[in-house]
Amino acid sequence: MERRDIAILMVALAAMVILAGIVKPVLTGKAPDLSLPFLPGPGEETPTSLPTAVIPRAPATTLPSPSPTPTWSGKTETLGYVGLESPPATPTFTRFPPDTPVQERLLTYAAIQAQAGGITQAIAMPFPYWELHYTVDPWKTTFVGTTSSRMGGQAEFFAAEVFPSFSIEVRDAADGSLVRRIEPEGGLNAQLWEKDKESDPRPWVEKFYEGLTPRSYYFVVKTHMIYSYRMEVKVPERYLGKY
């Protein structure tokens, strides 16, 4: 196609646009539309919102199913180290000689020595701390057996086993309530103590912490197969002149 033909075609197209946009509205009594295609014409409102763009969704991706965790076979698994540390140096210590406290001297505040049991007189105890030391001398024979005369026929044998016992009840003199019941720990076995002097636990010691409230007590002593016993109430020497 030659340039002359292209020019004639362009003129024809322009004439058609003028005819449709200007001449035709004038003939019909309407105002010609001179606005650009993307601008609103006279009497038209500007759109308040832009059309919503529809974004196509990507197809769902199917994830592969995880492999099931294998069950334990019962075999012990050996764990290794990811990183190793150097062992710490062995610390050295300086040992100081043991501090042996000076043993506090105790004084005998009251004493009881007897063979049979009973109820003692009340004793005032104004001290915040005191100890009860006691020792027991039980029967040494734990088995007694006798045989009757055989003159009248078959001899008869009589036997009795001896179990010495000793107990002290410390009671409040104000109302007679039981404060503590005391029995020799390990029992009474004079024969064992004679064979092994180190196993002799006498005297036994009971400690009492009174605080700052003075109280009075009496003792209820019960004996069985006992030769004698001795009880001593002891207090620290530093209490002299203070209570």
pLDDT band at 14 (very low <50, low <70, confident <90, very high): confident
pLDDT band at 5 (very low <50, low <70, confident <90, very high): confident
pLDDT for 75: 63
Output 156 or 93, whichever has higher pLDDT: 156
Statement: residue 186 has pLDDT above 80: yes
CB–CB of 126/186 below 8 Å?
no
End-to-end, the C-alpha distance of the chain in Å comes to: 142
Instruction: Kindly tell me the burial class for residue 220, based on how many C-beta atoms sit within 10 Å of its own C-beta (0-12, 13-18, 19 or more).
Output: middle
Output 209 or 21, whichever has higher pLDDT: 209
pLDDT for 184: 95
pLDDT band at 71 (very low <50, low <70, confident <90, very high): low
Statement: residue 3 has pLDDT above 50: yes
Write the pLDDT tens digit of every residue in 133-185: 999 999 986 666 666 665 555 656 555 677 899 999 999 999 999 999 999 99
Statement: residue 50 has pLDDT above 60: no
pLDDT band at 38 (very low <50, low <70, confident <90, very high): very low
Q: For all residues of the chain together, what is the average pLDDT?
A: 77
Output 42 or 233, whichever has higher pLDDT: 233
Statement: residue 17 has pLDDT above 80: no
On the question of a cis peptide bond just before residue 47, with omega within 30 degrees of 0, the verdict is no
pTM of the predicted model as reported, rounded to 2 decimal places:
0.54
Statement: residue 30 has pLDDT above 90: no
- SS3 annotation, 129-181: EEEEEEEEEECCCCEEEEECCCCCCCCCEEEEECCCEEEEEEEECCCCCEEEE
